[in-house]
Amino acid sequence: MMQREFEKRGLLKVSHPFLLFILADAGGSGMPQCELAQRLGVAPSSTAVSIRRMEKAGLLSKKTDKADSRRNQISLTPKGRHLVDECRTAFEDIDRGMLAGFSRAERENLRSYYIRMIHNLEAMGAQIPSGLKGE
C-alpha cells in the first residue's frame, strides 16, 4: 500500500523517500547530508543520488554550510513539505484500514510484539538507523 502511495506521488524513482520524512521531522533548519545518510542507515553515496533526484524534482534544496564549505545542508522545499504532509495523511488512512476491527488492547499487544522483534534483531547484530533508535 505504501508503494502504491509513493507511486501516486512519483516517489518510486527515489532511492530513499524516507529522507523527506527525516527532514520534515528535523524542522526547517535543514540537516547535513552525512547525517541524513547515517539516520537512514545507508552509504552517503546512496543518499547523494536520492538528494540529486529530489532536488531536480523540486522537493529539496541543497546549500553549502556557512561554517564548513565542504558540507551541504539539505532542506525541504515547500513542495517537499506538501508531499510529506500528503503522504502522512495517506499512511494514516492505510493504518486505520489495516487495523480496522482491532481493539485498543490488540493494537497495544501488536506494538509490543514489534518492539520485541526489533530488540531481538538488534541482539542478533542488526543495525537500526540512528533516526529510529529509541522509538
Set of cell numbers at residue 6: 509513493
User: Domain limits of the chain?
Assistant: 2-98, 101-135
Please, which pLDDT band fits residue 113 given cuts at 50, 70 and 90?
A: very high
Q: What value does the mean pLDDT take over residues 15-25?
A: 82
Set of cell numbers at residue 55: 532536488
Q: Pick one of 1.10.150.310, 3.40.50.300, 1.10.10.10, 3.40.50.620 as the CATH number of 2-98.
A: 1.10.10.10
Give the closest residue to 1 by CA, choosing from 101, 67, 96.
Answer: 96
Over residues 46-102, the pLDDT tens digits come to 888 888 888 998 999 988 877 777 788 899 999 999 888 888 888 888 899 999 999
| pLDDT number for residue 7 | 80
Predicted TM-score (pTM) of the model is: 0.72
2 Cβ neighbours under 8 A, 6+ residues apart: 91, 94
